[in-house]
Amino acid sequence: MHRLTRRILLLVSLACVVLGLFLLGANLGFISGRVTALAVDLWPIVLVAGGAILMADSLAKRRLTRSAVPVARRHELQVGPDAREISCHIQFSYGRLKIDAADGTPYVLCEHVGPAPEPLIEQSARGSVASLSLSLQQPLFPSAFQLSNTWHLALPPALPIALDLHLHEAVLQLDLRGLPVERLDMRADSGAQEILLGNRQRHLAARITSSSSDLVIIVPPAVQVEVALLNPFCRIDFPQGDFERRGDGSLVSSRADPDSGRIELELDGALRSIVLDVDDRSGS
């Protein structure tokens, strides 16, 4: 559903609740007849206010699209020398999110058009586990800066990673070919989502719950891959020579090398279609 449509539905829902409570109070005698008569005379103000909000938001988006200059801010992430594992939690909405391996110090690069709040970054350590939490608080009605809102998160490639993603109306490019991710828990709704897996995942257990109509998963060759599709109404496209379909509807790689690693994918949600492919161009 389009973002503007959701806003209109929200406004209509709120108006129905307010109107229902007002009529109930009038019928029960909690609201005087004078107030009721005044409300009947002034009710078109609700339509004027709703139209003004939508028009102001549309004009702000047009101004920023034509004249605003993108702003970029880089925030370095600290991982202690005693860390042996990384637990990373990300909450992202209304924009584009890219995750891959860092060449040096891990960081998150935030780019946006117009004013935007700083991302909330929490870093802590518990024993040998370093915890990273990144989130961006979103208003009830997304502002115009979200027309161009991009995060680029670069994580350290030397430590095992547990990755937890919560996405809302976001485009995702998740490149794990250079990251030793052992657990992936992803919950997302609309937006194009691309996940690239590689040989760094010696044993990856991934649960992906998504409502996207454009989900692409690329796996490396020779790795043992098992795909459990929990939504029986979802269409999945896959190369016939690389995967076999079992009786329960799950897929398993047909040319797997037991020494190349194991990837377990569990796919759920209101998915319309999935593209599962093998990257035969590289063994990385």
Quick one: DSSP state of residue 178? T
Do 185 and 249 lie in a common domain? yes
Pair (216, 148) in one structural domain: yes
- Give the end of a domain, one of 21, 38, 67: 67
SS3 content of the chain, % helix, strand, coil (to 5): 25, 40, 35
- The whole-number pLDDT of residue 270 equals 87
pLDDT class for 102, splitting at 50, 70, 90?
very high
Residues 57 and 88 in one domain: no
Question: What is the mean predicted confidence (pLDDT) over 63-81?
Answer: 78
Q: Is 256 in the same domain as 123?
A: yes
Q: How far is CA 228 from the centre of its chain?
A: 21
**Overall average pLDDT of the 130-151 stretch:** 70
| 134, 188: one domain | yes
Q: Which of 67, 83, 107 is the last residue of a domain?
A: 67
Do 86 and 209 belong to one domain? yes
For residue 8, pLDDT beyond 70: no
The pLDDT tens digits for 17-55 are 888 887 888 787 778 878 778 877 777 887 787 778 777
- In single-letter form, the type of residue at position 53 comes to I
Is 241 inside a domain boundary?
yes
Say what the pTM is: 0.75
Same domain assignment for residues 31 and 114: no
Residue 195, domain member (yes or no): yes
Residues 61 and 180 in one domain: no
- CA nearest neighbour of 227 among 209, 258, 249, 212: 249
Task: Give me the number of domains the chain comprises.
Answer: 2
| 191 and 164 housed in the same domain | yes
Distance of alpha carbon 134 from alpha carbon 172, whole angstroms: 15
**Looking at the domain assignment, is residue 123 inside a domain?**
yes
In a domain, 119, yes or no: yes
Is 284 part of a structural domain of the chain?
no
Q: Are residues 116 and 101 in the same domain?
A: yes
Give the tokens for residue 1: 């559903």
Residues 188/207, Cβ–Cβ less than 8 Å = no
Tokens of 24: 């109930």
Torsion of CA 210, 215, 218, 222, to 10 degrees: 60
Structural domain that includes position 34: 3-67
